[in-house]
Amino acid sequence: MTTLKTGLQIKEYCVEECLGQGGFGITYRATDTSDPAKTTVAIKEYFPREFASRGVDDKFVVPRPDKKKDFRNGLERFLREGKTVQSFHHPAIVRVKKLFQFHGTAYIVMEYAEGKTLSRWLNDKPYIDDSVLISMFGPILEGLREIHHKGYLHRDIKPNNIYIRDDGSAMLLDFGSARSTDFDISQTLTAVVSDGYTPPEQYNKKGKQGPWTDIYALGCTLYFCISSGAPPVSSITRLTAFSQKTRDPLIPSEMANQTGCSKRFLFTIDRMLKVVMAQRPQTVDEILAQWRKVDSTSRTLVPKTARLITQPKTPIRVGWSTLLLSATVILALGFSVMRMQEFISFERPAQVSVITGSDATLPKRDEPKPRQPAPGVAEVPAPQTTPGIEPVIADLPEPGAQTPVPPTQPELQPLPPVITPDIQPVVTTDTSLDQPIKPLPQPDAQENSEQIATIAPAAIPISHAGDPTMPEFIQALVLDAKSGDRDAQYKMAQINLKGKLVPKSTEKGMQWLTKAAKQNQVDAQVDLAFHYENGISVRKNEKKAFYWYAKASSANNAVAQAKLAAMYLDGRGINQDADKAVKLYQTAARNGDTIAQYEFAKMLYEGKGVTQDKPEAHYWFRHAALQGHRKAQYELAKMLENGEGTAKKPTLALQWYSKAAKKGDADAQNSLGRMNEYGLGTEVNIEQAIQWYDKAAKQKHAAAQYHLGQLYEQGKGVEKNLQTALRYYEKAAALDFDEAKQRLRQISKN
């Protein structure tokens, strides 16, 4: 066992549950028993899994004999991180209450806040403009100013390290990479890299880092917000283009913009993203001054839609020629250069935990067996993690929640072992898969003209690279795609299929998508399969859909695994096989796919294709619910109300019903009405009951219509009205609700 047991006392703190685990630490929700108010806190324990293990008493952390030095070094860094953050006092910086050594390791006690990461917050925000981002990032900048004034740099600002509390305020997290530095003197600093958010000087241990380093990363984060989730191009890629005096591959903010932000505001973001550090704002105050000048009347409103260009999710591949070229440029910019392989450390973007939204991974019961890569697909290296403060997030991360999750909530048990589905590498003799795609007839392109006009000044032909009417970055993208760059091919597919920046061309889009898919670009394989599965732009072909989902699944893509499971379950495109469906759903669930977690939980609950296991079903419903899956929230609430697979907890059930009901789930709305009517998990509140019943009834929920009929017939909370009651009974009976039919028969007899 790696995590501490629920109820264990760490000095004055009682462990309630594990919030998440990373490579170097485990974060728990705990109660301060010394505080009469029993304050909830978050405690981070230094626990480097590669260097240490849990002692036989399940309390002490014991370093491995051959890793004692690594363990001590990490412990010193962990304590340094805690002391660094403890010295800051600003509402936009996560507050450290205490740090201490105990049980052979160290602990950082932090404030506990409910909310969600910036990435998740953006998904729920229908409209964004200058005022929204300035009100959110203004305090972050002021917090950064305090950090810089005290002689520190954060060095790892990115969406997953910005946390939005339920009251809308933002908080900066994870100071594991923070360092003290003299801004005028180049110092040797550890190379910490989050590709897409790291400036060029940070790739070099001796690069001259200062406030401008954090400003670049914050600019990247703002770019992520205005482009609806597209991080900027890697600064190393941009640096290479700069050295070759070619067009900057970064799409300008004004063109990538999917929000209502003004040109002046977007110009500030572009300044923050300058590759040459001297061209960026040098202090936080420069940005704040610029924001005060933003002219709200100059806004050009653009609907917030799906992101325009998705950045590649495939492993970063940097050749020696690129690295050496980048090194030369860094030298030219005044950086002290050492051998590139000694100071460049690449990381994949951190995976967001389904439990906490932090840079943590799900707790595991057993480590999965090593996966063999599909033919032609390079194995993805494990991400390099460093000790840092993960976001402290409550179990119910929904805006507007009034009641926090009770501390009596059961601890999440570790995940079940991954059972790799017995799916062989996709081999087919069907030559139709290699035939050119014949797209379906499309409507006249005129219908897209208004949409194109909002993004580009005029429709731009995309015949070939070198077209003088084509933007240079599109020309460069075409050249890369034609030279065989699979990520460029995938981007070209999206541009052509969506008709943004260029006239919509289904034929070109599908051709690029197929080229990228054949080169094992996993996102392209999933998209191509989806097109075939649903008959979008091509004729529906479930056999081809299965083929491409299987290719992506063999590369461990969770979405493809879930899709493949559904096809096996229904016998679409392949012979029906419930066993493979179960294994695929389990694997995809373990890999974090929310739909797979819900579907796997349903199968466990119903005993469909697998032995019925309600405790395990409860576990998976809860994981999906924590990620915001509406039906999973309802099913979890039902199990908590009835005590299925877990202890009866009507109060907690009420909270989960409320989550699902607010998202429009009629079953949850009806259940909330019932619980308010009868005082289950709350006080009796007939007015609330009627409101929830009414919401569900308007969605033609028969049980809710029947309950409203009863209330009007009895005059319970409303004026007694038999005609209204009959009307509701008749509606429920028309939906074949037996109780309503029976009640109508009884009334007719009287």
In a domain, 229, yes or no: yes
CB within 8 Å of 24: residues ≥ 6 apart: 46, 47, 48, 49, 74, 78, 176, 385, 386, 387, 388
**Tokens read off for 417:** 């072992």
* Alpha-carbon 319 to chain mean position: 30
- Residue 742 predicted with pLDDT over 80: yes
Mean of all residue pLDDT scores within the chain = 75
In a domain, 676, yes or no: no
In a domain, 361, yes or no: no
pLDDT band at 596 (very low <50, low <70, confident <90, very high): very high
- Looking at the fold, whether 59 and 182 belong to one and the same domain comes out as no
- Residue 29 predicted with pLDDT over 50: yes
How many CA atoms lie within 13 Å of 541's alpha carbon, on the beta-carbon side? 17
- Looking at the fold, whether 140 and 94 belong to one and the same domain comes out as no
Q: Which range has the top average pLDDT, 460-469, 479-488, 526-535?
A: 526-535
Region 603-629: what's the mean pLDDT? 89
- Residue 330 predicted with pLDDT over 50: no
* Cα–Cα distance measured from residue 353 to residue 159, given in angstroms and rounded to the nearest whole number: 14
Percentage of the residues of the chain whose pLDDT score is greater than 70: 72
- Residue 397 predicted with pLDDT over 50: no
Report which secondary-structure segment, H or E, holds 179: strand 179-180
Q: Which residue has the tokens 């051709």?
A: 511
Count of CB atoms within 10 A of residue 688's CB? 17
What is the tally of structural domains in the chain? 2
Residue 361 near residue 351 (C-beta atoms within 8 A): yes
Nearest-CA neighbor of 635 among 646, 648, 625, 647?
625
**Strand pairing class (179-180; 40-46):** unpaired
pLDDT tens-digit readout, 723-737: 999 999 999 999 999
Q: Among residues 92, 111, 130, which one ends one of the domains?
A: 111
Burial class (CB in 10 A: 0-12, 13-18, 19+), 129: middle
Q: Among residues 304, 325, 343, which one ends one of the domains?
A: 343
Burial class (CB in 10 A: 0-12, 13-18, 19+), 729: buried
- Looking at the fold, whether 129 and 200 belong to one and the same domain comes out as yes
- Looking at the fold, whether 300 and 168 belong to one and the same domain comes out as yes
pLDDT tens-digit readout, 498-549: 887 788 899 999 999 999 999 999 999 999 999 999 999 899 999 999 999 9
Higher pLDDT pick, 384 / 215: 215
- Looking at the fold, whether 261 and 305 belong to one and the same domain comes out as yes
- Residue 356 predicted with pLDDT over 60: no
Higher pLDDT pick, 206 / 323: 206
Region 572-581: what's the mean pLDDT? 92
Higher pLDDT pick, 483 / 388: 483
Nearest-CA neighbor of 45 among 387, 413, 362, 384?
387
pLDDT tens-digit readout, 225-240: 888 666 677 888 888 7
- Looking at the fold, whether 107 and 60 belong to one and the same domain comes out as yes
pLDDT tens-digit readout, 168-210: 888 887 665 544 444 333 343 444 567 778 888 878 766 788 8
The values of phi and psi at residue 303, to 5°, are -55, 140
* Cα–Cα distance measured from residue 290 to residue 292, given in angstroms and rounded to the nearest whole number: 5
In a domain, 748, yes or no: no
* Cα–Cα distance measured from residue 414 to residue 365, given in angstroms and rounded to the nearest whole number: 5
The values of phi and psi at residue 443, to 5°, are -65, 165
| pLDDT number for residue 173 | 76
Which CATH number goes with the domain that contains 192? 1.10.510.10
- Looking at the fold, whether 99 and 167 belong to one and the same domain comes out as no
CB within 8 Å of 618: residues ≥ 6 apart: 601, 636, 639, 644, 645, 646
When mean pLDDT is compared across 273-287, 386-400, 621-635, the lowest value belongs to 386-400
- Looking at the fold, whether 14 and 141 belong to one and the same domain comes out as no
Nearest-CA neighbor of 96 among 114, 80, 119?
80
* CA-only gyration radius of the chain, Å: 28
Count of CB atoms within 10 A of residue 424's CB? 8
* Cα–Cα distance measured from residue 24 to residue 18, given in angstroms and rounded to the nearest whole number: 14
pLDDT tens-digit readout, 68-111: 888 888 888 888 878 878 877 888 888 888 889 998 999 999 88
- Looking at the fold, whether 213 and 274 belong to one and the same domain comes out as yes
- Looking at the fold, whether 278 and 130 belong to one and the same domain comes out as yes
| pLDDT number for residue 469 | 54
pLDDT tens-digit readout, 117-152: 887 887 777 567 888 888 888 888 888 888 887 778
Q: Among residues 88, 111, 134, which one ends one of the domains?
A: 111
* Cα–Cα distance measured from residue 90 to residue 143, given in angstroms and rounded to the nearest whole number: 6
- Looking at the fold, whether 175 and 250 belong to one and the same domain comes out as yes
- Looking at the fold, whether 83 and 203 belong to one and the same domain comes out as no
Burial class (CB in 10 A: 0-12, 13-18, 19+), 457: exposed
Q: Which range has the top average pLDDT, 368-377, 395-404, 704-713?
A: 704-713
pLDDT tens-digit readout, 418-453: 333 444 434 444 444 444 444 444 434 333 333 323
pLDDT band at 294 (very low <50, low <70, confident <90, very high): low
- Residue 331 predicted with pLDDT over 50: no
In a domain, 553, yes or no: no
CB within 8 Å of 546: residues ≥ 6 apart: 529, 564, 567, 572, 573, 574
Region 371-379: what's the mean pLDDT? 34
* The total number of residues written for the chain in this structure: 750
| pLDDT number for residue 628 | 86
* Cα–Cα distance measured from residue 462 to residue 508, given in angstroms and rounded to the nearest whole number: 10
In a domain, 571, yes or no: no
In a domain, 69, yes or no: yes
pLDDT band at 563 (very low <50, low <70, confident <90, very high): very high
List the domain range (segments joined by +) for residue 119. 115-343
**Given 3-state DSSP classes, what are the helix, strand and coil percentages for the chain, each rounded to the nearest 5?**
45, 10, 45
Which CATH number goes with the domain that contains 15? 3.30.200.20
In a domain, 550, yes or no: no
Residue 261 near residue 299 (C-beta atoms within 8 A): yes
DSSP state of 349: P
